[in-house]
Amino acid sequence: MGPGQPNPMTFSSRSRSNVLTWLDTLSTSCPDPPFACRTLGSHEHRKRRAPDSDSPKPPFKRPCPLTPPASTIMSVSPAKRSHDTPDSISVASSSNQDDDQTPRSKKIRMVPEWGSQPPTTSSRRSASVSPKKLARNWAVRNASARQFTIKEDIPASLQSMWKDIGRYDRGIGTIGLAEKEAVEAAQTTIPEYEQDIFEGFFYEQEPPAGDGTRTALGPTPSVAAVLDIMERGISCRDEQMDEAGWNQIVHNRILELAFTGLWCKNDDIVAFSPCTSATIMSNYTDAISRKVDFCACIRPDALSAIAIQSVRDQDALASVSINHTDFPPLQARPIALSIETKIHGEGMNNAEAQLVTWHAAQWRLLDRLVGRADPKMQLPEFLPGMIIQGHEWLFVASTKRGDQVTLWTSQHIGSTAKATGVYQIVCVLQYLKRWIEETYWPWFKQAVLRFSDET
């Protein structure tokens, strides 16, 4: 150390003494901070103790934040501070959450009363929650998926439909008389038909007069159409096609054998539409918005279209859509059947969670629509749905008891890997189409549009 240079030890001791003297001037009581102070460990107390034994020891003080109060950092009005504090606490609390902790659903969103203006802004959680966790959380609160059993309190109409679809799953009456001869010939000339088993009861029974039960549902697909579906399905399976590929190549094609596409210009009341980007409107769900892949909807006639528009004109929320989604093609066409698809081998729990979320939102919509005027009409006894997993097609349905929505699963329908399975699937789709025309649509016109029985 050269002459004239300050002694660093003396400088250090003087600085410590100045700091300690400044600390003595502070108030012995510290105002409560906006967040809980962290208690210092014993090693931290030792670390902060002045090493110079000659320096006076300051009196003990309760540990406080070293940063000055917020009021000395920035000027914030009391009203503003009280408004922001809860948000700040919420942020701080969420930052301390365990990343592996199961995300919790929001509070149940209150659906606006009929005729009221819905909130101009709505918050949607951006965090991704797995459908399996979502289903588990909902099962505790207001929605669940359960195995169908006759022992449960299930509407007689759903029990009857379940039984009918079970018969079709066994192949009973799935091939119309018009195609019987072609199918019998294919069993001796086409390998895919030779290796399949066709029982006599697969064919429609000859009626005493008029069309039989199978013919009344709609046309049976031709042998060529069945082979085309099988080839498409096998190719998607072998090429490990993704969900979008299965939808476009296989599922869309088989739906066209039973329903009219929404884009077709004809007089069919029921049509189907892909809707993979359709999201649930936030007013109808308190969970993460889930989507389905296809919907069968109603194409209203001119008089019904006017009535639907009248309902939409009465309420700001309904003005967006007559459904629980604002997907443009479905805004004025009531949804009657929803279909969720997964690739071969993908988890069934995920599909069930997505469909029960979708159905729960649809139930909330229907409850709001039927309750908009007195007397309040009854809700439908159930809502039908389908889950497709690669080749396999399954029928499901949901019921509502109070606030509880239950998705009943599942009745096997058929497989696109087999010729008999394709006949079964098309037959069930046509069966559901007739149910929409003869049961669901008349209910909707009476309960929602308030048509009389004679209309």
Structure confidence by residue, pLDDT tens digits, 309-349: 999 999 989 999 999 999 999 999 999 999 999 998 888 99
Q: What is the DSSP string of 380-431?
A: PS-EEEEEEETTEEEEEEEEEETTEEEEEEEEEEEETTSHHHHHHHHHHHHH
The boundaries of the domain holding residue 429 are 131-170+259-447
- How many beta carbons lie within 10 A of that of residue 277, not counting itself? 8
CA–CA gap between residue 189 and residue 182 (Å, rounded): 11
High-pLDDT (> 90) share of the chain, %: 59
Residue type, 194: E
Residue type, 404: Q
Query: What is the spatial distance between Cα 319 and Cα 281, in angstroms, rounded to a whole number?
Result: 12
Residue 105 in any domain: the answer is no
**Residue 439 is assigned to a structural domain of this protein:** yes
Residue 423 lies in a domain: yes
In a domain, 13, yes or no: no
Higher pLDDT, 89 or 216: 216
Cα–Cα distances in Å, from 149 out to 111, 231, 407, 420? 32, 35, 12, 26
Supply the pLDDT for residue 378.
94
Q: Answer whether residue 184 is part of any domain.
A: no
For residues 239-260, average pLDDT: 97
pLDDT in tens, 109-163: 556 665 555 544 333 443 455 555 554 554 446 889 999 988 888 999 999 999 9
pTM for this entry: 0.72
In this predicted model, what pLDDT tens digit does every residue of 396-445 receive, in sequence order? Answer: 999 999 999 999 999 999 999 999 999 999 999 999 999 999 999 999 99
- What's the number of domains the chain is made of? 1
Asked whether residue 243 is assigned to any structural domain, the reply reads no
Q: Are 350 and 304 spatial neighbours (Cβ–Cβ below 8 Å)?
A: no
Is 75 among the domain residues? no
pLDDT tens-digit readout, 51-96: 444 444 445 444 444 444 444 434 434 433 333 333 333 323 333 3
Dihedral, 91, 122, 336, 367 alpha carbons, nearest 10 = 100
Of the pLDDT bands very low, low, confident and very high (cuts 50, 70, 90), residue 212 is: confident
Residue 176 has pLDDT above 80, yes or no: yes
Q: Quote the mean pLDDT of the chain.
A: 80
Domain contains 216: no
> Exposed, middle or buried, 246 (CB in 10 Å: 0-12/13-18/19+)?
buried
Per the structure block, which two tokens stand in for 301?
């006639």
Measured distance CA(337)–CA(339) in Å, rounded: 7
Give the E-state strand segments of 87-174 in sequence order. 143-147
